[in-house]
Amino acid sequence: MKRLMKSMIYLLLAGIVACVYLVWTPDKNGDELTEKYAQAPSQFITISGTRLHYRDSGNKNSPTLIFLHGFGSSLHTWDAWASALEQDYRVIRLDLPGFGLSGENEKNDFSDTHDIAVILGLLDTLEVNKASFIGNSLGGKLAWLIAAAYPNRVDKLVLISPDGFASEGFEYDKPHQASWMLNAMTLALPKPLLKMSLLPAYANPNSLSSTMLDRYYDLMCAPGVRKSIVARFNQTVLKDPRPILKTIQADTLLLWGEEDAMIPIANAQDYLKLIPKVRLEALPKTGHLPQEENVQHSLHALQKFLD
């Protein structure tokens, strides 16, 4: 009986080891990812301890647009828009600290304050005094924070399903704790699981192509990204945005997918009540990422506003 019990324990342990081996997801090779996803005009620069991946394209003598992506994304989310806008604008986009090909930073700091210091530091390096800020989700929150704190640096403001208000699990003035599932992601991230987490961002599941899924997966597995995401969650402390939004001086456009399952379009009412000069462009049959899912309609609304 003891021999049988011992054999069963060994088999169980072997099974656990085998399962861990099958789902274990190490970081991908950084050099290979750079070769694949940092084609020209990609550049790298170190700002505030972060090795930053960015692209600066278009007409350097034209008005400047700076694009800020959402949580878990990268500067590639703006590819279609950037191609269309480069003839008439200077287009600057970056991988926010800890995402895409932008690495970890010396202080392991992924706070809003550090993100903003990196963004403005990049603009200072590129000698851009003023730009129109366009941000999606997390990038939207950073954009409106910059518009409120540095009004002289913001021409126009475009918020695409912006983040920043309290929601279930995210209360004001209370540190957030990353879940065990998020922590487990640093060890194991099967691609089907990532696909399941991405699909709610699209109104039409077919909008998430296999090429886009591969890109999201590769860059999620870039060196240090998953660890940085956990650190960002643990450092997130939301502040009540209402008194901040009231101070924004820039003309503001809200772009929102009517079928956004991540941050519902009903949340737009909060921004419409608070930002002094703001209007809403609702996008039918569109989810959380109009720049990927509804390129032409969303781009037309953006260009009309910028013009």
Render pLDDT for 10-29 as a digit per residue (tens, 0 to 9).
333 333 333 444 568 999 99
The CA angle 144-150-152, to the nearest 5 degrees, is 115
Render pLDDT for 257-267 as a digit per residue (tens, 0 to 9).
999 999 999 99
Alpha carbon distance 76, 202 (integer Å)? 17
Dihedral angle of Cα 46, 52, 56, 62, to the nearest 10 degrees: -80
**What's the pLDDT score for residue 76?**
98
**What's the pLDDT score for residue 2?**
39
For the chain, where are the E strands, in sequence order? 42-47, 50-58, 64-68, 90-94, 131-136, 154-160, 251-257, 278-283
Render pLDDT for 262-285 as a digit per residue (tens, 0 to 9).
999 999 999 999 999 999 999 999
Alpha carbon distance 226, 298 (integer Å)? 30
DSSP letter assigned to residue 88: T
Render pLDDT for 234-243 as a digit per residue (tens, 0 to 9).
998 889 999 9
Tell me the average pLDDT across 155-175. Answer: 89
Residue ranges and CATH numbers for the domains of the chain are: 31-306 (3.40.50.1820)
* Residue % of the chain over a pLDDT of 70: 93
Grade residue 171 by pLDDT with cuts at 50, 70 and 90: confident
Render pLDDT for 63-94 as a digit per residue (tens, 0 to 9).
999 999 999 999 999 999 999 999 999 999 99
**What's the pLDDT score for residue 15?**
37
**What's the pLDDT score for residue 125?**
97
Q: What mean pLDDT, rounded, does the chain reach? A: 91
Tell me the average pLDDT across 48-69. Answer: 96
**What's the pLDDT score for residue 296?**
96
- pLDDT reading at 103 higher than 90: no
- Specify burial of residue 236 (Cβ count, 10 A radius: 0-12, 13-18, 19+): middle
